[in-house]
Structure 1
Amino acid sequence: MGGRFDITIVAEDSLTSEKYIDTVIAEIVRIENLISDWKPETQISEVNRNAGIHPVKVDREVFELTRRALQFSQITNGAFDISFAAMDRIWKFDGSMKEMPSAEAIKKSVEKVGYKNIILDGVSSTIFLKLEGMKIGFGALGEGYAADRCREMMLAKGVKAGIVNGSGDMSAWGKQPNGEPWKIGITNPFKKNKLLDVVTLHEGAVTTSGNYEKFVVFNGKRYSHIINPSTGYPATGLASVTVFGPSAEMANGFSTSLMVLGSKAGLVLLKKYPEYHCIMITDKGKVIRSKNK
């Protein structure tokens, strides 16, 4: 999935924990080989190759993950969109971009993006991308989904505690060996060597999306690498969003969406899902916490 996974397992001895870690790694690789959009042999790559041509039959697991992603697109009115993979990468966050892209270039960059052009057939388990050149990708959900799956697998095997961390998408269960709950540090986006807060995590998940690693500044305004898929413009207003809840997949979808929606609309959305709560930090450094904590 193009990201780093860190796996922590609490077991009776190191050999047992290593065995379980190997099982987790194998599951992450299995999922990657289903949903990666940069490995040509995966089912998602096959779907992308046949955009505008014909539907592609996929495993039920891939179909259901895609269906859940489309539900996220619907509840966020397109702030979240897995067809974002088709966007032309006209924004550069490596220091090479000296001026903003033109309005015409930005509009053209999202021509192939649009979740309403993803057609699912639940009977035949097929995915069809209506427009030639469309692509879907699970960069915003895949690691969270894998973390959740691995947690479920370890619980089913009787592993009492651990954390699966997919590039900041964490799924945890149980307690530390000393009996205390897991403690998760929230990075201060303006002082990255300091923590904004430390929260306890029992059986649940936490994910963070932020603009403090990759961004550009034009006319005093910060533009992040998180792009609004419906407009082609980078998200502004928030420096980071951390979401807590039962599922890393869902939390990741929310954290990405809230960066695009902004604090006001984001809080309205999250209020409908009382199992989830968030900490948002604005570009000005203001800390906003949702009330359903």
Structure 2
Amino acid sequence: MIVLQEDHSRDNELAFEAMNTNFFLSVSNSSISNWKEQIIHWFKYVDREWSRFQEENELSKLNNLIIGQRISITPPLFDVLQKAEDYRNKTGGLFSPYLKDLLQYHGYDRSFPFEAAELERGTKTLLVKSSSFVFHPNDFSVTRVAEGQVDLGGIGKGYAVEWAMGWLKRFANVKYGIVDGGGDISVWSNGDKEWKIGINDPFHHNKEIKQITLKNGSIATSNIIYRSWRQGDQKKHHILNGKTGVPVESEIIQATVITSNCLDAEVGAKLCFMETGAALEQQLTKLNLNYKYVLVNRNGDVIIS
């Protein structure tokens, strides 16, 4: 979805695959010699422990809790869960981290790529409209207080990208750099660098619809074409409305949000499929006062805030 428009020294570049995504990083410098190994270790941890497709990982242990049970989890998972709950509250439930069962019900029960899913079986899982957990910051533990199976999905990737940027800035003393997780992008600069990032045309992969110049900030792009499948005679995709539990129906097929934080951008891009006009502006303002969006509708028209 997003194409980088820069050439960099290979010594300061890193490309690898994790979370079913191609990652690319480029940095100006690093005071830590093994920064590449540290970054790969971080993303592999997220891939292994936060995936809803893995068994016996940290997320599955959390999801297997029964009401009243309490468990200690790692600080990063605790942090992203709290942030996800904050976004659920800010968006009035349009965004929800408690959609695992509903995603599976609609056929998203395995990693992409796949083209067809089995028909819906049984009764649709209860839609969770409150927090499933009470958070205990003193020991990074949570207590289950309601039903609700967690799927971190896009917000997990956005968190991982934002964390990697923060680590490189604070601990590796990188003056400027970019972390690109397949369309979830964070960039930073001490003023010496401007990043040029192109937004791909969803209908023509080798064509750009707009190029963005950014020194500091984040970009997230969501698309309902790429992660879609057939379930019986219905076409479905991975973006569910947290208030209804069904795939959103929208004239928008691709949404890109540019703001200061990758999580805000990631959640904001999802909202672009659920709201329009003043309602969308109001929702995005709740996330971050400074934002821009680039939308593409089914006719190929480009809408820029």
Do the two structures share a fold, i.e. TM-score over 0.5? yes
Shift in Å, 1:186: 0.8
Shift in Å, 1:210: 0.9
Distance in 1 (CA, whole Å) between partners of 2:194 and 2:222 is 23
Distance in 2 (CA, whole Å) between partners of 1:12 and 1:145 is 23
User: Structure 2 vs 1, CA of residues 12 and 97 (structure 1 numbering), >3 Å: closer, same or farther?
Assistant: closer
Residue correspondence of structure 1 range 133-148 to structure 2 within 5 A: 134-148=148-162
Which of 197-206 and 253-262 deviates more? 253-262
Contact 1:8–1:164 (CA under 8 A) maintained in structure 2:
yes
- 5+ residue gaps, structure 2: 1-17, 109-113
Distance in 2 (CA, whole Å) between partners of 1:32 and 1:96 is 24
Q: Greater helix share, 1 or 2?
A: 1
Contact 1:112–1:131 (CA under 8 A) maintained in structure 2:
no
Distance in 1 (CA, whole Å) between partners of 2:206 and 2:188 is 27
Question: What are the Cα deviations for residues 20-56 of structure 1, in whole angstroms up to 9, with x where unaligned?
Answer: 2222112223444553444444432221111335122
Match of 1:48 among 63, 75, 80: 63
2:197 corresponds to: 184
1:149 corresponds to: 163
Question: What are the Cα deviations for residues 217-244 of structure 1, in whole angstroms up to 9, with x where unaligned?
Answer: 89xx975331223323211221111111
Identity %: 21
2:227 corresponds to: 214
Match of 2:238 among 213, 220, 225: 225
User: Structure 2 vs 1, CA of residues 239 and 202 (structure 1 numbering), >3 Å: closer, same or farther?
Assistant: same
2:302 corresponds to: 287
User: Could you tell me which amino acid in structure 1 is paired with residue 214 of structure 2?
Assistant: L
User: Structure 2 vs 1, CA of residues 41 and 223 (structure 1 numbering), >3 Å: closer, same or farther?
Assistant: closer
1:249 corresponds to: 263
Which of 268-277 and 233-242 deviates more? 268-277
2:21 corresponds to: 4
**Scaled by the length of structure 1, what TM-score is found?**
0.80
Distance in 2 (CA, whole Å) between partners of 1:98 and 1:116 is 30
2:116 corresponds to: 96
Distance in 1 (CA, whole Å) between partners of 2:84 and 2:54 is 20
Corresponding residue SS for 1:89: helix
Aligned residues: 279
1:265 corresponds to: 279
**Scaled by the length of structure 2, what TM-score is found?**
0.77
User: Could you tell me which amino acid in structure 2 is paired with residue 10 of structure 1?
Assistant: V
The yes-or-no answer on 1:65 pairing with 2:80 is: yes
Contact 2:116–2:230 (CA under 8 A) maintained in structure 1:
no
2:8 corresponds to: none
User: Could you tell me which amino acid in structure 1 is paired with residue 237 of structure 2?
Assistant: S
Shift in Å, 1:198: 0.7
Distance in 2 (CA, whole Å) between partners of 1:123 and 1:251 is 29
Contact 1:117–1:131 (CA under 8 A) maintained in structure 2:
yes
Shift in Å, 1:2: 2.4
RMSD, aligned CA? 3.3
